[in-house]
Copies of this chain bind each other. A is one copy, B any other.
Amino acid sequence: MFESAELGHKIDKETYDREVPPLRAALLDAQMDMAKLAKFPVIILVGGVDGAGRGETVNLLNEWMDPRYLQTHGMGDPSDEELDRPMMWRFWRELPPKGQIGIFLGSWYTWPIINRVQGISKTADLDQSLERARRLETMLADEGALILKFWMHLSREKQEKRLKVLEKDPKTRWRVTERDWEHYKKYDKFRTVGESVIRHTSTAEAPWTIIEGYDPHYRSLTIGKIILDAIRKRLDDADQKISDVSAPPPLPSIDNLNIIKSLDLKQKLDKKTYQDELEKYQGKLALLTRNPKFKKITVIAMFEGNDAAGKGGAIRRITGALDARYYNVIPVAAPTEEERAQPYLWRFWRHIPRRGRVTIFDRSWYGRVLVERVEKYCSEADWMRAYSEINDFEAQLVRHNIVVVKFWLTISQEEQLRRFKEREAIAFKHFKITPDDWRNREKWTEYEQAVCDMVDRTSTEIAPWTLVEANDKNFARIKILKTLCAQIEAAMQKKEP
């Protein structure tokens, strides 16, 4: 979920200086139009990790925009007036009226998260708070509000680095409090809780957007653009009802960096090492799946990837180590008639294995947010809601002690071309290449965007994506076997739920 926000996004000063003036002008225009129309308020929540520039970003937005139509509310400790009333009262009193923007630095998420991180509340309490937040936001959206939630993120290393930089400079030292360092010590816990909050409350009507907070140029420009786009879009269809097709806005690609592009596809394994490692990890997998403890768990391994990325070959390297009585490979193609008469996920539910089994999906439920999205086989609203449906689905699997291992196999455009041509040239590989493959290839960029969105929204702590650099088949297969073994091993060591 935080993958895209740990890539080291950066905008140089020159680009920034060039892009800011028109952005400011456009934001001011949008504010004027909003105020004139006076049909909907904009509610912006800014949360995230310490040192990720929450306060600075809000200050900058205030500088950029027209203060007559913008209020900022720093929601620190509640006053005694506020403590005397239900928790939400302090937010209700500060809600922006129609035509105005309200920025909340700290929100109805702040205390539930902090209390959970500090162990004051339990997961179930957190869930209750999130449920209340979700209901509040649904109501606000139904009343017409445009809700934007930003989560400013820093990797652990970057957080530490930034706190130290701030602390060193006498001009910014005051910004780093003891509480910040205390929070830093709980970074992992904070990250886990934050991830779960984002996963549970990123709804169609009030999505979270995760922003890498390290580079001030990048974060400011990105947030400014997202706010502008969202307001413009709403102004354009002011009469339309919301919530149909809004969802986590895709991050504007302003520095041409994404998780797929950031992979090092040059990684290789020579034949000898490959043979050794293959033997080693196949042996390990064979032992693991024959261990008595394996009877208590279930494994679902799932393969997605570019066409010709080598999914089939990788799957065969796994099944080679398994007992045929206890595994199944499910190739996912177009749904059958019976399957089309059921909800989308039905055809995957039917293949959920019993305990002690392994099921391998060759393509999967992610088809909806990949091929169905890009080829427009389903409506935008359908694939938008699929992210959270899939997260729910996988959460149910994991709760039942199922190990969900998800692989995305990436190859470069050039490598794909080479493999396509090889398939056409070699008779026994002919069947593997179809006109569809060539057609998909033309939509390379759209598919890449779809993959990035998919990973951003569905790579969760409980069911993370493993991105596999697959230009070299040897390297890919070993990485897959290794990951699979590691995840099974971890699950078997966990104590019973």
Q: Indicate which residue in B93, B127, B341 contacts A131 across the interface (CB closer than 8 Å).
A: B127
Whether, in the assembled complex, A294 has its beta carbon less than 8 Å from a beta carbon of chain B, the answer is no
Size of interface on A: residues with Cβ below 8 Å to B: 52
Whether, in the assembled complex, A33 has its beta carbon less than 8 Å from a beta carbon of chain B, the answer is no
Q: Indicate which residue in B85, B127, B349 contacts A89 across the interface (CB closer than 8 Å).
A: B349
Determine if B128 and A354 form an interchain contact, defined as CB atoms under 8 angstroms apart. Answer: no
A306 to B87, CA, bound (A): 34
Q: Which residues of B contact A349 (CB under 8 A)?
A: 88-89, 92-93
Determine if B145 and A341 form an interchain contact, defined as CB atoms under 8 angstroms apart. Answer: no
A344 to B99, CA, bound (A): 16
Whether, in the assembled complex, A98 has its beta carbon less than 8 Å from a beta carbon of chain B, the answer is yes
Q: Which residues of B contact A168 (CB under 8 A)?
A: none
Determine if A89 and B142 form an interchain contact, defined as CB atoms under 8 angstroms apart. Answer: no
Stretch at the interface among A67-75, A326-334, A397-405: A397-405
Determine if A38 and B140 form an interchain contact, defined as CB atoms under 8 angstroms apart. Answer: no
Determine if B89 and A343 form an interchain contact, defined as CB atoms under 8 angstroms apart. Answer: no
Determine if B127 and A85 form an interchain contact, defined as CB atoms under 8 angstroms apart. Answer: no
Whether, in the assembled complex, A352 has its beta carbon less than 8 Å from a beta carbon of chain B, the answer is yes
Determine if A389 and B139 form an interchain contact, defined as CB atoms under 8 angstroms apart. Answer: yes
Number of this chain's copies in the assembly equals 2
Task: Identify the closest chain B residue to A343 (Cβ).
Answer: B143
Q: Which residues of B contact A136 (CB under 8 A)?
A: 392
Determine if A95 and B352 form an interchain contact, defined as CB atoms under 8 angstroms apart. Answer: no
Determine if A38 and B86 form an interchain contact, defined as CB atoms under 8 angstroms apart. Answer: no
- Smallest distance from the beta carbon of A122 to chain B beta carbons, Å? 7
Task: Identify the closest chain B residue to A401 (Cβ).
Answer: B86
- Smallest distance from the beta carbon of A344 to chain B beta carbons, Å? 6
Task: Identify the closest chain B residue to A395 (Cβ).
Answer: B132
Q: Indicate which residue in B354, B392, B397 contacts A139 across the interface (CB closer than 8 Å).
A: B392
Among A325-375, those with CB < 8 Å from B are 338, 341-346, 349-350, 352-355
- Smallest distance from the beta carbon of A201 to chain B beta carbons, Å? 12
- Smallest distance from the beta carbon of A466 to chain B beta carbons, Å? 23
- Smallest distance from the beta carbon of A68 to chain B beta carbons, Å? 15
Determine if B343 and A86 form an interchain contact, defined as CB atoms under 8 angstroms apart. Answer: no
Q: Indicate which residue in B85, B125, B396 contacts A400 across the interface (CB closer than 8 Å).
A: B85
Determine if B143 and A344 form an interchain contact, defined as CB atoms under 8 angstroms apart. Answer: yes
Determine if B396 and A88 form an interchain contact, defined as CB atoms under 8 angstroms apart. Answer: yes
Whether, in the assembled complex, A97 has its beta carbon less than 8 Å from a beta carbon of chain B, the answer is yes
Determine if A352 and B89 form an interchain contact, defined as CB atoms under 8 angstroms apart. Answer: yes
A385 to B143, CA, bound (A): 11
- Smallest distance from the beta carbon of A27 to chain B beta carbons, Å? 21
- Smallest distance from the beta carbon of A457 to chain B beta carbons, Å? 16
A93 to B341, CA, bound (A): 13
Given contacts A124-B124, A389-B139, A392-B135, A355 and B84 within 8 Å (CB-CB): yes
A324 to B124, CA, bound (A): 42
Whether, in the assembled complex, A270 has its beta carbon less than 8 Å from a beta carbon of chain B, the answer is no
Given contacts A125-B124, A145-B343, A343-B140, A399 and B86 within 8 Å (CB-CB): yes
A354 to B79, CA, bound (A): 12
Determine if B341 and A38 form an interchain contact, defined as CB atoms under 8 angstroms apart. Answer: yes
A33 to B381, CA, bound (A): 28
Whether, in the assembled complex, A77 has its beta carbon less than 8 Å from a beta carbon of chain B, the answer is no
- Smallest distance from the beta carbon of A239 to chain B beta carbons, Å? 13
Interface centre among A352, A355, A397 (most CB of B within 10 A): A352
Determine if A396 and B86 form an interchain contact, defined as CB atoms under 8 angstroms apart. Answer: yes
Q: Which residues of B contact A344 (CB under 8 A)?
A: 143
Given contacts A81-B354, A128-B124, A92 and B143 within 8 Å (CB-CB): no
Given contacts A139-B343, A341-B38, A93 and B350 within 8 Å (CB-CB): yes
Task: Identify the closest chain B residue to A348 (Cβ).
Answer: B92
Q: Indicate which residue in B143, B341, B352, B382 contacts A85 across the interface (CB closer than 8 Å).
A: B352
A142 to B344, CA, bound (A): 10
- 5 A-B pairs with CB atoms under 8 Å apart are A86-B352, A86-B397, A86-B399, A92-B349, A132-B392
Interface residues of A (CB under 8 A from B): 38, 41, 81, 84-89, 92-93, 95, 97-99, 122, 124-125, 127-128, 131-132, 135-136, 139-140, 142-143, 145, 338, 341-346, 349-350, 352-355, 382, 385, 388-389, 392, 396-397, 399-400, 402
- Besides A92-B350, A93-B350, A143-B343, 10 other A-B contacts (C-beta < 8 A): A81-B354, A84-B355, A86-B396, A86-B402, A89-B349, A89-B352, A92-B345, A92-B346, A93-B349, A124-B127
| Complex A-B, nearest 10 residue pairs according to Cβ-Cβ distance, in ascending order | A124-B124, A97-B341, A143-B343, A86-B400, A92-B349, A84-B354, A98-B341, A86-B396, A84-B355, A139-B389
